[in-house]
């Protein structure tokens, strides 16, 4: 049974906002990465990953986010993390992600 989860995206100007799910793990992370790369390939210069619904990010999810940051950087785009909860901000700071992205 394939329950394909569609990643919600909103675009405005040169910005694409990709909405993460409640749990960022390998499966959901890969879908977010594919969608972010699609938006970068489409020419968006700012990729906002909205974590408003996200409660947990595991280590594989963090690794996938690093791939998104790298892909954006290679294309001259920037990545912004928005609506991140305090626990996840602490995780991102501890692992150094906040050195590469802006967190709103």
Torsion angles phi and psi, residue 19, rounded to 5: -95, 120
Partners of residue 24 on adjacent β-strands: 57
pLDDT, one tens digit per residue, over 22-41 is 999 999 999 999 999 999 99
Residue 2 has pLDDT above 80, yes or no: no
- pLDDT recorded at residue 71: 97
3-state secondary structure of 56: strand
Instruction: Name 29's Cβ contacts closer than 8 Å, sequence gap at least 6.
Output: 60, 61, 63, 64, 65
pLDDT, one tens digit per residue, over 47-101 is 999 999 999 999 999 999 999 999 999 999 999 999 999 999 999 999 999 999 9
The model's confidence at residue 5, banded by pLDDT at 50, 70 and 90, is low
- pLDDT recorded at residue 70: 97
- pLDDT recorded at residue 6: 83
What domains appear along the chain, each with residue ranges and CATH number? 9-103 (3.30.750.24)
Pairing of strands 46-50, 78-82: parallel
């Amino acid at each position: 049974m394939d329950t394909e989860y569609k990643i919600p995206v909103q675009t405005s100007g040169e910005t694409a906002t990709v909405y993460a799910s409640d749990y960022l793990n390998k499966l959901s992370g890969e879908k977010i990465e594919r969608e972010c790369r699609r938006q970068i390939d489409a020419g968006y210069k700012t990729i906002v990953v909205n974590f408003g619904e996200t409660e947990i990010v595991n280590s594989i999810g963090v690794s996938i986010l690093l791939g998104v940051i790298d892909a954006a950087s290679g294309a001259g785009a920037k990545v912004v993390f928005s609506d991140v909860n305090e626990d996840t901000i602490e995780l991102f700071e501890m692992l150094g992600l906040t050195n590469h992205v802006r967190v709103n």
